[in-house]
Amino acid sequence: MSKPTSQSFPIRRVTRLALISATCIVGRLLFTWIPNVQPMSAIILLIAFYDTYSNALIVSSLSLLGTNLYLGLGSWTIGQFIAFTGIITIFHSFSNIPIIQKHIILQACGVFICGLIYGLIVSITETFIYQFPYFWMYYLQGIIFDLLHSIGNFIFYLLITPIIRRIYHFHSLSKKL
């Protein structure tokens, strides 16, 4: 029997994704006392920007399941999965734009907007699941929480980006050695 020529999930990748997911879970649980403010979204969007699309989806899925198992699973988990997939797709596409690649403030503004989009997608999903008759009333009641999420994303993104850049710079150097 011949050995496979390439591994789709080498140990280094699995370990890195597990550690990042664990960081997201701990970060979200540490900040549960502030409504909708946690570093999890910022970390996932950093992975979407500096790593592959599939790695960002894996980290978001593991992190979401890990935190929701602790904090509580419900119909909102479906909306969160859909919303994370949406904002990861949007932010990963930003990584191909040269001006956004160069300016961390533009990236942070994109993360802020993604926080608002996340809230919008979750609200749309919840409105559909529960068959609420007035979407805009439901959405506008939660807009403060969406703004808190966006502001938290913006701040955490600016704080965590230098660390992630160093990790990925080191990772790319170690591949060359």
Examine residue 123 and state whether it is found in any structural domain, yes or no. Answer: yes
pLDDT digits (tens, 9 = 90+) for 141-163: 999 999 999 999 999 999 999 98
On the question of pLDDT at 6 being above 70, the answer is no
Examine residue 68 and state whether it is found in any structural domain, yes or no. Answer: yes
Judge whether 154 and 108 are in contact, CB under 8 Å: yes
What is the phi/psi pair of residue 150, to 5°?
A: -65, -45
Examine residue 140 and state whether it is found in any structural domain, yes or no. Answer: yes
pLDDT at 171: 56
pLDDT band at 166 (very low <50, low <70, confident <90, very high): confident
pTM: predicted TM-score of the whole model, two decimal places: 0.89
Examine residue 3 and state whether it is found in any structural domain, yes or no. Answer: no
Which of residues 176 and 56 earns the better pLDDT score? 56
Examine residue 160 and state whether it is found in any structural domain, yes or no. Answer: yes
Domain range enclosing 30: 11-168
The lowest-confidence range among 10-24, 123-137, 161-175 is: 161-175
pLDDT at 9: 76
Instruction: Measure the CA–CA gap between 120 and 91, rounded to whole angstroms.
Output: 16
The number of folded domains in the chain is 1
Instruction: Measure the CA–CA gap between 94 and 48, rounded to whole angstroms.
Output: 9
Residue 64 belongs to domain with CATH number: 1.10.1760
Judge whether 28 and 39 are in contact, CB under 8 Å: yes
